[in-house]
Amino acid sequence: MMPKQIDYTLSEEALIEVQKAMKSADAKVSKRASIVYALHQGYAAPEVARLHAVTASTVYNIFHRYHDEGISGLSNKAKSGRPPKADQAYRQRLLDVLETDPHTLNLGFSIWTLPSLQAFMERETGVRLSQNRISEVLKDEGYVYRRPKQDLGQHQDPLLREHVCDALDEVKKTPVRGISSYSIWTKADSA
């Protein structure tokens, strides 16, 4: 008795749908759609498997998933597992905290750092994330780390600052004469 022949022929609508999926940004969907398309073109499953570097059973599984579920069957299924600690509520609280001046929260610092964010968020939410994970969450939310610029301009006398800048400009214009004592390089004794 011969095994049952599978008809891999696609309808006109299904063919258009598969060809569109072959151009998907998701590489796995694109590859799986290419497998379905190759079967439609008349290639045997073992040959399609060899061309796509998968097993023949994978080719059959992909086609059956497509046949049963359509294009959505070509996508990866959601995997079960532990939900992320940094859920949407945690993320929103983190962003709110990041936009808040630490002084207004009676904290002894003026700039948020990863260790200070980690400690504060653990106290606030009871959820402890590593500093790397907090950094990833912030990156996902569009934040980048930049070193703060050290500018004491608001604490300086503007008139005195202007006078010092003029004096520095004048010194820069004057040529240096004599031996420079700013080098750590010295000549060895020639004795």
pLDDT in tens, 109-157: 888 888 999 999 999 999 999 999 999 998 888 888 777 677 777 778 8
Which among 69, 78, 80 is positioned nearest to 32, based on CA atoms?
69
Which among 11, 8, 13 is positioned nearest to 48, based on CA atoms?
8
User: For the residues 32-49, what does the mean pLDDT come to?
Assistant: 93
**Mean of pLDDT over the chain:** 85
Q: Specify the 3-state DSSP secondary structure of 6.
A: coil
Q: How far apart are CA 28 and CA 109, in angstroms?
A: 48
Give the domain 12-74 fold: Arc Repressor Mutant, subunit A (1.10.10)
Instruction: For the chain, give every domain's residue range.
Output: 12-74, 88-140
Model pTM greater than 0.85? no
Q: Specify the 3-state DSSP secondary structure of 183.
A: coil
**What percentage of the chain exceeds 70 in pLDDT?**
88
